[in-house]
């Protein structure tokens, strides 16, 4: 029997998912959904959670069919194409797209660590880039220790984060400033009118992207057939409850109209609510900034780990240099791959003016990944219809088809609005990926 010692159990797997999902989105992007949709933004977040949970269940099935970490490469490589070579091509395209999505998310979160600290502690405002780099280095080092140790550290951070969120929620509802009348009318307050909640769904989806984290780390999970779907269910329920309460608490303090008049506040909605309506609790503003920093750090920690495993899996497949596939003898972690990720994320985080463009490019890459994985689920079932002792996502092939349609339908309009420059740089990025791919094939033949 495979040695299970040192692997992640249900608690650590759940907190990794919770820590990954409670990140930059709730403390920044939630303000955009409130500004665009008003109180109906609550519905945006619930719908987004349902869609991403369905996607997560599909990756859970793939992880039990192919129980090896680095699934974003492994799943398509084993399922798509008639030959191993064709499968590896789709595995590489999927990994290459996913890699930039992870890198963009990590860099964005690192930049916002410095923004929140700068807002709360003005003396730190001049050190935005050094603080962002320090966050990247800190999380990179944590990802080089033993997976069990990283899981415990992440658990502590996540518990602390959840505690601060509960304090904010309770403070808002008991302050005497929370006004239920601000939640009415529900659908017409937002800047985008009655359909604003639909346009806000893609923004809210960003918050739940890390639901697939443990699926891509399945080689380090104890009893993955049961642990992975259970961890997803537990994490999603906890995160949705916290998100809805956080947004309701904020909606009773600041309105969509206020954020429209003060667009800078739309990226720091909880801070805006505490600063403008809860001034009688002066320590709460500092607490919100610290909670946001905790959230962002847990996101960086998880997303950088996933990027490292995507690189390692591609290296195992012979598409990247072999030294990137090696684990440290002391920690059994992909240290070389993590170092590469840390350097790339650090370089991008050093240019905060490019944040919006990087996020848009990351969104396009994520849409490509979703497309490939949804098709992969159907292909994997056709290739191995009689596999036993695996978790099967409910709904048959209807679930991946609906997930693909809804996700693409939600993301594509926003992606198209990014303009020609976004598509040009996307083409350049994938052209670079293809160059690396064909060079690796040439080396194999030689």
Is it the case that residue 118 has pLDDT exceeding 90? Answer: no
Predicted confidence at residue 369, as pLDDT, reads: 82
CA distance 351 to 354: 6
Contact call for residues 22 and 179 (beta carbons, < 8 A): no
DSSP letters for 172-222: HHHSS---GGGG-SSSSSSTTGGGHHHHTHHHHHGGGGGGGGGGGGGGGBS
Residue scoring higher pLDDT (215 or 320): 320
CA distance 140 to 135: 8
Predicted confidence at residue 2, as pLDDT, reads: 43
To which H or E segment does residue 431 belong? helix 420-445
CA distance 421 to 431: 15
Of 2-6, 221-225, 298-302, 380-384, highest mean pLDDT: 380-384
Residue 439: CB partners within 8 Å, gap ≥ 6?
Answer: none
CA distance 49 to 139: 26
Predicted confidence at residue 430, as pLDDT, reads: 93
Predicted confidence at residue 70, as pLDDT, reads: 54
Give pLDDT tens digits for 152-189.
666 677 777 788 889 999 999 998 999 999 999 988 89
Is it the case that residue 8 has pLDDT exceeding 70? Answer: yes
Q: How do the domains of the chain map onto residue ranges?
A: 10-445
Q: How open is the CA angle 100-104-109, to the nearest 5 degrees?
A: 150
Give pLDDT tens digits for 250-262.
999 999 999 999 8
CATH class label, 10-445: mainly alpha
- Residue keyed to tokens 């919100």: 288
Is it the case that residue 339 has pLDDT exceeding 80? Answer: yes
* pTM higher than the cut 0.85: no
CA distance 200 to 223: 37
Is it the case that residue 191 has pLDDT exceeding 50? Answer: yes
CA distance 164 to 186: 28
């Amino acid at each position: 029997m495979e040695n299970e010692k040192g692997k992640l159990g249900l608690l650590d797997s759940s907190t990794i998912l919770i820590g990954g999902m409670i990140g930059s989105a709730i403390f920044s992007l939630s303000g955009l959904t409130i500004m665009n949709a008003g109180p109906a933004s609550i519905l945006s977040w619930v719908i987004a959670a349902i869609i991403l949970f369905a996607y997560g269940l599909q990756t859970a099935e793939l992880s039990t069919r192919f129980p090896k970490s680095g699934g974003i490469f492994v799943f398509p490589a084993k399922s798509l194409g008639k030959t191993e070579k064709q499968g590896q091509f789709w595995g590489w395209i999927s990994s290459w797209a996913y890699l930039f999505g992870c890198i963009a998310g990590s860099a964005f979160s690192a930049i916002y660590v410095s923004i929140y600290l700068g807002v709360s502690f003005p003396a730190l405002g001049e050190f935005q880039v050094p603080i962002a780099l320090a966050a990247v280095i800190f999380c990179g080092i944590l990802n080089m220790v033993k997976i069990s140790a990283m899981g415990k550290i992440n658990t502590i951070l996540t518990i602390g984060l959840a505690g601060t969120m509960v304090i904010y929620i309770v403070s808002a509802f008991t302050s005497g400033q929370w006004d239920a009348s601000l939640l009415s009318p529900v659908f017409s307050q937002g800047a985008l009118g009655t359909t604003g909640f639909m346009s806000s769904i893609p923004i809210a989806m960003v918050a739940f992207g890390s639901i697939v984290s443990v699926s891509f780390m399945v080689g380090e999970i104890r009893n993955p057939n049961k642990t992975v779907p259970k961890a997803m269910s537990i994490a999603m329920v906890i995160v949705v409850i916290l998100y809805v309460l956080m947004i309701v608490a904020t909606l009773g303090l600041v309105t969509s109209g206020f954020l429209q008049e003060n667009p800078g506040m739309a990226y720091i909605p909880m801070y805006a609510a505490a600063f403008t309506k809860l001034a009688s609790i002066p320590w709460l503003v500092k607490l919100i900034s610290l909670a946001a920093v905790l959230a962002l750090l847990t996101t960086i920690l998880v997303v950088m780990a996933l990027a490292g495993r995507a690189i390692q899996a591609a290296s195992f497949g012979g598409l990247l240099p072999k030294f990137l596939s090696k684990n440290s003898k002391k920690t059994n972690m992909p240290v070389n791959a993590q170092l590469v990720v840390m350097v790339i994320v650090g370089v991008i985080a050093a240019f905060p003016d490019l944040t919006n463009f990087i996020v848009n490019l990351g969104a396009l890459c994520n849409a490509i990944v979703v497309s490939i994985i949804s098709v992969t689920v159907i292909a994997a079932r056709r290739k191995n219809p009689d596999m036993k002792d695996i978790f099967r996502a409910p709904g048959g092939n209807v679930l991946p088809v609906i997930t693909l349609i809804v996700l693409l339908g939600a993301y594509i309009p926003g992606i198209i609005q990014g303009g020609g420059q976004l598509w040009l740089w996307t083409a350049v990025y994938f052209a670079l990926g293809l160059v690396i791919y064909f060079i690796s094939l040439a080396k194999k033949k030689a």
